[in-house]
Amino acid sequence: MKTFHFGLLGGLLSIAGIGTVYQYHELQREKEVIHVNHQLKRLENQLSRIQQKQEEEIIHPTKDYQVYYQTHPQHQQIFKDGLPSHANVAVTEAYVCSHNLERKIPNWVIHEVYADERSKQRVADRAFSDFNNRSVTVPTHLRPSTYDYVGSGYSRGHMCPAGDCIKKSQQAMDDTFLLSSNIVPQEYKNNANYWYKMEMLCRDHLPSKFDKVRIINGPVFPVTTKDNKQHVRYQVIGKNNVAVPPYLFKVILCENENTHLTGDRQVHLAAFAVPNEPIDMDVPLTQFQIPLETLEKQCGLSIIPNVPKANQFDLCQTDPSNCAMLSGNDWELYDAKRKMGWANSIQDLERTINRLKSHDIPLSDDLQRKYDEKRRHLELAENMNTTLQKK
């Protein structure tokens, strides 16, 4: 009997042990399922947050800029068409830009010129503006200084030209002198000559053919190959290490309001990459034209992401005169007119006139009047200085 009782008890204990082991493994499996479900839920939440962030920052970038529709309505269409990038964006009265805090220059600057501005009077004067580093959205310790340019061999090159704001407002004019937002180190002869001719094309010529001209300017830092290795190399100037771009880009977009309003929008555009060095004034602009996608890949930008390709047309192919800059005698006369305005002495004035004479270019009636007026002004100033010195 005892043996039987012990055997029965052992059997019962054995069965109970098997049941306990079974329950243990079942609990372990439930735990694993719960853990996997928890992990899946966590991953789903992460994916949801990533998708939400992408929608906010990429798919619908204008969500972040709705406030500017009220504060800067003149730039509303720029935001609707999409910005080239969304890092360190700043908005001024004159333009929209993106700051490069490492290189101490803008990544890009967008502004517009309108046909109806041609008939308006000047309301701003660059004489009241000065180069400064007061870009409020740039931390103080990351701002360049005017002293960075002193003795560097480079001029302070405007991306949005000061001349494009003389009929907007003095505040817009002042905005163009912000170093972080609108200035890059530019070779002086390039800045004062070939690049200036490109600006004249956008300011004077194209607004006579289109209602609106949008210009996007910025630096290009191309990849170079040396010893079978690829590099991005560039010079820096000043104690703040301001980057000197080897190339500058200019994207020009032109359109007429009637095509926009009727829904059949036609944006005529062309992209150019110009070396930051002296360029012969007779070189055609089209020699520097490059495909928009090539520029975008080089600079990591998406120029007008919200404008369908079907609405984009080649500005230079549509009408070759669109990309024809002043040349020959026309340029010499235009250049003489602006240099007369700069002249600070009779010697400077006569040097400008003698250049025209050396090219056998006669003065127009308008230019002759400007010359006579400027000479009288300079003679009066020199006579006053002489009188003061005698006293």
In the residue annotation, 141 being an active-site residue is answered as: no
84's CB contacts (< 8 A; 6+ apart) are: 98, 107, 108, 110, 216, 299, 301, 302, 303
The dihedral region occupied by 238, where left means phi > 0, alpha psi between -120 and 50, and beta the remainder, is left
For every residue of 6-24, DSSP letters joined together read HHHHHHHHHHHHHHHHHHH
Fill in the DSSP letter of residue 345.
Answer: S
Closest listed residue to residue 162, CA positions, set 131, 137, 135, 194: 131
Residues 6+ apart with CB under 8 A from 105: 144, 180, 183, 184, 185, 219, 242, 243, 245
3-state secondary structure of 326: coil
- Residue listed under structure tokens 């999409």: 82
Q: What is the DSSP letter of 250?
A: E
DSSP code at position 346: H
* Collapsed DSSP state (helix, strand, coil) of residue 271: strand
Phi, psi for residue 37 in degrees, rounded to 5: -60, -40
- Burial classification of residue 193, based on how many CB atoms lie within 10 Å of its CB (0-12 exposed, 13-18 middle, 19 or more buried): middle
> Which listed residue (72, 75, 99, 158) is catalytic?
158
Tell me which residue of 156, 34, 174 sits closest to 105, measured CA to CA: 156
CA separation for the pair 215, 28 (Å, rounded):
66
Instruction: For the chain, give the number of residues.
Output: 391
Backbone φ and ψ of 166, nearest 5°: -65, -20
Of 248, 250, 251, 286, nearest to 269 by C-alpha is: 251
- % helix / strand / coil in the chain, to the nearest 5? 55, 20, 30
331 close to 308: Cβ distance less than 8 angstroms: no
Cα separation, 287 vs 271, whole angstroms: 11
| Active site members | 158
